[in-house]
Amino acid sequence: MMPIRHCLTLTLGALKRNRLQTVLAIIGMGVGVGALVTSVALGRGAQHAINEQLRAAGANVIVVTAGNYLQGGGNVGTHEGGEIIGTPTGPKSGDEGTSHNGALLPPQLQLDRPPTESYDGALPIAYSRDDRLGHPTGAVWYGGTGAPWVFMSVHEEDDPFAVHDHPTAAQRLGDSMAGLGAAATLTRKDADAIRAMPGVQYVASSVQEDQRLKVLEGGEEKTWFTYMRGTDDTLPMIRTGWVFPRGAFFTEEDVKAARQVMVLGRVAADHLFGHDANPIGRTVLLWNQKFTVVGVLGSRSWAAQPTPGDHEFDAFYVPVTTVQKLLDLGKLNTITLTTYSVGDTTQIARRIVDLLRQRHKINERMPDDFMVRTEAQLAIGHGLPPSVARVLGGNMAGVDQITIGRIADSLKRANNTMLSLLAGVATVSLLVGGIGIMNILLLSVTERTREIGLRVAVGAQRSDVIMQFVAEAVLLSLVGGLLGTVVGALASGSLERLFKYSIDISIASSLAAIAVAAVLGVIFGVYPARRAAGLDPIEALHHE
Amino acid sequence: MSIISLRNLTKTYQMGDSTVHALRSVSLDVERGEFVTIIGPSGSGKSTMMHILGCLDRPTSGQFLFNGRDVSSLPRDELAGIRNKQIGFVFQGFNLLPRTTALENVEVPLLYNRPVVPAAERHKRALAALTAMGLGDRAHHHPSQLSGGQQQRVAIGRALVNEPNLILADEPTGNLDTKTSVEVMALLQELREKRTITVVLITHDMDVARYGTRIVSIRDGQIVSDRPNIPTRAVEAAAPLSVVNG
């Protein structure tokens, strides 16, 4: 076998000598590779664009809420409150609890103290107790005679079936524990754990409550009762429909330092300062604490206009750390997160459930002490009274099958089809390029018959001849491939400007295309090479 | 020991429906340093004999001993090796690679040497061979920039680059004018005299045949005469030419 450098000398010499052959072969292969590179880039760009649009619709948002809805027929309630005392005695039947209407029911809880109250004919069987408050904050009822389980916990102050429009105990200064109405189950450490998961993009912790803001303006006091969100600096990345007509959202630094800064929603800002005023830098009082306004939040989307009571623009945002510090609070209401790829949302939601069950040391048979919902499910209940929303969200187990998740899947499949089609066409053109090389080499063998005869006469072995022609084919393919990749990249670039896609050239696919070109070179070079090696040198020498 | 020994060499092949007896039981011995010219009309079998002598073809029967070695049954790759190192070819049509320099043309046999000859060494040897042909200053010319005589000399340089014992020339002057033909013949004679290279040349032209030391006539696949000859002195007939130093 000839060494590589030797081979290269021979090959380069031959290619230089037969310019037309060389140029044609390179063009042929170049077009094929260029088409392949461009079409792959186009397909990936389209996928990217689709992803972007779905992302804007919030399809990649997951919300983890402390506390848990139960699914099942009949009455549905929230579990809010402290820990459940008493131990489970095991399921009534079956391995993980009985099933009713397809929903998983908790196993029977052993009574810790006798039930004293009844609700709508259902008897209570156990109480949960929040140790910090020193009084029961929940109860479990069992509906007798075939009625389904009802598992509820009730806050002392609040009836879960009523609409909350009154300030809760949190309003009272210093009383940090009462009234936030959330199960004490989600923490910032949970948020950090979720942040560390692969596929998770932005994570924002949140503590939310109705609160009153006060502004002192020239001796006059203006107040506005609105919705507080103590959250992370990442929330604007998640809520992509936001714009900031004034100022900006607070920063990571603000969150780390638990600064007393505030972003006002449009409605709140209008009511406190008037629509045309600039509230940036002004002071707002929350719990008689001074907060500086750093931004005003408006809506980008015509579909979601700021309206009083909407909890988004009739709201104010402060760093979650500040709230936790001022109220001496360790727990969160919600953790909101986005995933990189819309297609992964359901899978990541499931993984979060597993993660949190593990972190909260939830026994297999016990239900979650949190809820993980994708945006689709949340959208269903948007704007409805909490009780109705609860019922809807809780009862529509299949909600995420028919909404954005499904749409995302269909779009993904459609895009894959398109990508396959494009790639198929490109592969065909690549093959054509390879066949072109083969034809050109075959022609070349004919034209160089005398040369081949001479080489054999002066001592070329059969393998030398084959190597030479295969090497020529490979070199032509490689150069063509390289050229095609460059041209493909340029073409994709101009297409990008034309279609306003972000077209995605990946290094990996370019290298793959070039490697494919080289392999094709070998395949399509072998036949002409063997033809060349099989020539009779005597005839070849006298060939015209 | 003869350099070439043909023993009852027969070559038969099929051409369409008919069988061609190119060589019929030919026997011939050639000693080192001889200048043998083989003369015969077309179809006489002289080309066939040349091909067999050049290890490009195998006899149908009989033996061909080259340097005492029976090469008729050697594998192809070994025959290639013999052609590479021990035989130099000169053709009527020169068979130079077009659009390639004279130097690169002379290098061609060196590319197939086993063991491999590195590039620098190749250039050196090729240049030496070219210079010996008086074409050192035209090393980078392409064949299209050279006269017929110069091209044939490049071809001879190529034939010599591996320093073979045997030169096989197939009508080397067929495409040259009279004056150039004489120059080329002078060159071949000098090679034989100064370097003791055996030359076997085939031609149909008696004037050319007379440059050899032995004339073998062949007709219909058989040797009809084989006689020594006083070679015409091309060296004196030609004007200043060779710088072959041996």
Q: What is the pLDDT of residue A491?
A: 80
**Partner residue opposite A455 with nearest CB, options B57, B98, B108:** B108
Q: What is the pLDDT of residue B153?
A: 94
- Lookup: tokens for A90: 């095991």
pLDDT per position as a tens digit, A216-271:
776 778 888 888 889 999 888 887 778 888 899 989 998 989 889 999 988 888 88
Q: Confidence class of residue B34 from pLDDT cuts 50, 70 and 90?
A: very high
Lowest mean pLDDT among A270-274, A411-415, A501-505: A501-505
Residue B239 pLDDT > 70, yes or no? Answer: no
Residue A64 pLDDT > 70, yes or no? Answer: yes
Cα A265 from chain centroid?
26
When pLDDT is averaged across residues A115-133 and rounded to a whole number, the result is 44
Lowest mean pLDDT among A142-151, A284-293, B121-130: A142-151
Half-sphere exposure of residue A433, counting CA atoms within 13 Å on the CB side?
38
Question: Do residues B172 and B180 make contact, with C-beta atoms less than 8 angstroms apart?
Answer: no
Q: Do A458 and B158 touch (CB under 8 A)?
A: yes
Question: CA-based angle B39:B43:B44, to the nearest 5?
Answer: 40
Half-sphere exposure of residue A34, counting CA atoms within 13 Å on the CB side?
18
Q: What is the pLDDT of residue A54?
A: 64
Residue B30 and residue A351: Cα distance in Å, rounded? 91
**Partner residue opposite B84 with nearest CB, options A5, A453, A459:** A459
Higher pLDDT, A276 or A395: A276
Question: Touching check for A12 and chain B: CB below 8 Å?
Answer: no
Higher pLDDT, A159 or A434: A434
When pLDDT is averaged across residues B171-176 and rounded to a whole number, the result is 91
Nearest chain B residue to A456 by CA: give it.
B80
Residue A304 pLDDT > 50, yes or no? Answer: yes
Q: Residues near A469 by Cβ (< 8 Å), separated by ≥ 6?
A: A441, A445, A525, A528, A529, A532, A533
Residue A525 pLDDT > 80, yes or no? Answer: yes
- DSSP element (H, E) containing B199: strand B198-203
| 3-class state of residue B167 by DSSP | strand
In chain B, pLDDT over 70 holds for what percent of residues? 95
Q: Confidence class of residue A109 from pLDDT cuts 50, 70 and 90?
A: very low
Residue A182 pLDDT > 60, yes or no? Answer: no
Residue A158: other Cβ atoms inside 10 A:
16
Question: Touching check for B60 and chain A: CB below 8 Å?
Answer: no
| 3-class state of residue A293 by DSSP | strand
Residue A93 pLDDT > 70, yes or no? Answer: no
Q: Do A458 and B84 touch (CB under 8 A)?
A: yes
- Lookup: tokens for B228: 């020594």
Higher pLDDT, A504 or B32: B32
Backbone angles phi, psi at B7, to 5 degrees: -125, 110
CA neighbor of A423 nearest in space, from A15, A55, A19, A47 = A47
- Lookup: tokens for A101: 């209407």
Residue B57 and residue B168: Cα distance in Å, rounded? 14
- DSSP element (H, E) containing A467: helix A462-499
Q: Do A10 and B111 touch (CB under 8 A)?
A: yes
Question: Touching check for B91 and chain A: CB below 8 Å?
Answer: yes
Question: Do residues A489 and A37 make contact, with C-beta atoms less than 8 angstroms apart?
Answer: yes
Q: Confidence class of residue A378 from pLDDT cuts 50, 70 and 90?
A: low
State the smallest CA–CA distance between residue B230 and chain A in angstroms. 31
- DSSP element (H, E) containing A285: strand A283-286
Lowest mean pLDDT among A419-428, B14-23, B79-88: A419-428
Where is mean pLDDT largest: A31-35, A46-50, A135-139, A388-392?
Answer: A31-35
Residue of A17, A458, A536, A539 to mutate, testing the B interface (most B Cβ within 10 Å of its Cβ): A458
Lowest mean pLDDT among A252-256, A408-412, B31-35, B69-73: A408-412
pLDDT per position as a tens digit, A314-332:
889 999 998 888 887 778 8
Amino acid identity for residue B49 in this structure: M
Q: What is the pLDDT of residue A310?
A: 77
Q: Do B95 and A5 touch (CB under 8 A)?
A: no
- Lookup: tokens for B37: 């010219």
Question: Touching check for B20 and chain A: CB below 8 Å?
Answer: no
Residue B66 pLDDT > 90, yes or no? Answer: yes
Residues in a beta bridge with A175: none
Lowest mean pLDDT among A27-31, A111-115, A333-337, B103-107: A111-115
Q: Residues near A503 by Cβ (< 8 Å), separated by ≥ 6?
A: A41, A42, A44, A45, A492, A493, A495, A496
With b for 16 or more beta-carbon neighbours within 10 A and e for fewer, the A100-116 pattern comes to eeebebbbbbeeeeebe
When pLDDT is averaged across residues B84-111 and rounded to a whole number, the result is 92
Residue A122 and residue A36: Cα distance in Å, rounded? 68
Amino acid identity for residue A460 in this structure: A
In chain B, pLDDT over 90 holds for what percent of residues? 66
**Partner residue opposite B83 with nearest CB, options A2, A459, A462:** A459
When pLDDT is averaged across residues A503-525 and rounded to a whole number, the result is 76
Cα B24 from chain centroid?
23
Lowest mean pLDDT among A78-82, A388-392, B102-106: A78-82
Question: Touching check for A543 and chain B: CB below 8 Å?
Answer: no
Q: What is the pLDDT of residue B228?
A: 92
Lowest mean pLDDT among A503-512, B215-224, B235-244: B235-244
Q: Do B111 and A454 touch (CB under 8 A)?
A: no
Q: What is the pLDDT of residue B125?
A: 94
Collect all residues of chain B within an 8 Å Cβ-Cβ radius of residue A5. 119
- In chain A, residues 447-486 whose CB comes closer than 8 Å to chain B: 450-451, 453-462, 464
Q: What is the pLDDT of residue A505?
A: 58
Higher pLDDT, A426 or A392: A426
The full length of chain A comes to: 544
Distances (CA, A) of A401 to A377, A397, A409: 10, 9, 10
Q: Confidence class of residue A373 from pLDDT cuts 50, 70 and 90?
A: confident
Q: Do B108 and A9 touch (CB under 8 A)?
A: no
Residue A422 pLDDT > 90, yes or no? Answer: no
Q: What is the pLDDT of residue A143?
A: 43
Q: Do A10 and B119 touch (CB under 8 A)?
A: no
Q: What is the pLDDT of residue B23?
A: 92
Residue A279 and residue A272: Cα distance in Å, rounded? 9
Residue A212: other Cβ atoms inside 10 A:
14
Q: What is the pLDDT of residue A62?
A: 85
Q: Mean pLDDT across chain A, nearest whole number? A: 70
Q: What is the pLDDT of residue A390?
A: 55
HEC secondary structure over A193-256: HHHCCCCEEEEEEEEEEEEEEEEEECCEEEEEEEEEEEECCCHHHHCCCEEEEEECCCCHHHHH
Lowest mean pLDDT among A188-202, A416-430, B50-64: A416-430
Higher pLDDT, A467 or A52: A467
Give strand ranges (E) for A2-113.
61-66, 68-69, 78-79, 83-84, 99-100, 103-104
Q: What is the pLDDT of residue A156?
A: 36
- DSSP element (H, E) containing A421: helix A404-447
Q: Do A458 and B100 touch (CB under 8 A)?
A: no
CA neighbor of B11 nearest in space, from B203, B218, B202, B222 = B222
Residue A312 and residue B199: Cα distance in Å, rounded? 103
Q: Do B108 and A454 touch (CB under 8 A)?
A: yes
Q: Confidence class of residue A340 from pLDDT cuts 50, 70 and 90?
A: confident
Q: Confidence class of residue A84 from pLDDT cuts 50, 70 and 90?
A: very low
Q: What is the pLDDT of residue A383?
A: 52
Question: Do residues A368 and A356 make contact, with C-beta atoms less than 8 angstroms apart?
Answer: yes
Residue of A21, A452, A454 to mutate, testing the B interface (most B Cβ within 10 Å of its Cβ): A454
Lowest mean pLDDT among A120-134, A167-181, A225-239, B125-139: A167-181
